[in-house]
Amino acid sequence: MRDLGAGFSYLLKGQRWVARHGKQYGFGLLPGLITLVLYAGALVALALWGEDAVAWATPFADDWSSPWGGLFRGFLTAVLFALALLLAVLTFTAVTLLVGQPFYEALSESVDRDVAPDGTAPVSGLPLHRELWISARDSLRILVRAAVWGVLLFALGFVPVAGQTVVPVLGFFVTGFFLTEELTSVALQRRGVELRDRLALLRSRKTLVWGFGTPLGLAFLVPFVAVLLMPGAVAGATLLARDLRGEEITEGTGPAGDTGDTGDTGGAGDGDREFTR
């Protein structure tokens, strides 16, 4: 239970950090807004032409007597849209992180410098195209794992009673775990931690991970909320990554009353401090 509270506290501290660094928060919103527009456009297109696509894919239902053909195609259209929404929720974070790699990389480095005792941050030293390739590759692997869990939970959903009570709760914890993996990858990739090692690290502290990712996953069900919380989620995930790696976290820096309008990244020992481990 203590780790659950600690994980949630990192989520709150990340939001507080970006609130104190307004310029970085503003830049951090851009990738989420771009992704939201792309996803909204795709979902609107699906809503407008999904029924036509289903009709094209099911020519065998043309000769079915009324109302069975219409009911069948209506059911498939609804399932198609529901699956698209589920895919959007599962992939939103990964796509946003990919689109905003330079923004979130800089934000995560700033958080590291702010809370590190020596005021430094690990750097990957890799060119941007290499970082983007690694991020896309690892996100695809995580998506496959998440899809396997999704199929399993979907099948368990047909179990009487448990399928309507226990399985949805399990689904939120699974979502929280994979969401945390995606977010902490920004900080852990800079430290050269490979995907397999990242997953092992997260599994070693599951309750800490759930405390961070599960409430965030619930909030991310509302698309615009996801956009607003993404910068702070990356900041909080950086703090979480330091905890998982056993790195010291000093109290956050910044002049007393600083709102971050100057975009200052802070440094160890600067005035009023905010974070505690």
Q: What's the pLDDT at 252?
A: 52
Residue 152 is predicted with a pLDDT of: 83
Return the pLDDT at 234. 94
Question: Distance (Å, rounded) from C-alpha 46 to C-alpha 275?
Answer: 45
Cα-Cα-Cα-Cα dihedral sign, residues 186, 187, 190, 195: negative
Please give the pLDDT value at position 213: 92
Residues (pLDDT < 50) of the chain are 253-277
pLDDT at 272: 36
pLDDT the model gives residue 257: 35
What is the pTM for the complete model shown? 0.76
Range 147-158 burial, b when 16+ CB lie within 10 A, else e: eebbeebeeeee
Cα dihedral: 128, 129, 131, 132 (round 10): 120
Give residue 129's pLDDT.
77
pLDDT score for 145: 85
Q: With 0-12 CB in 10 A as exposed, 13-18 as middle and 19+ as buried, what is 60?
A: exposed
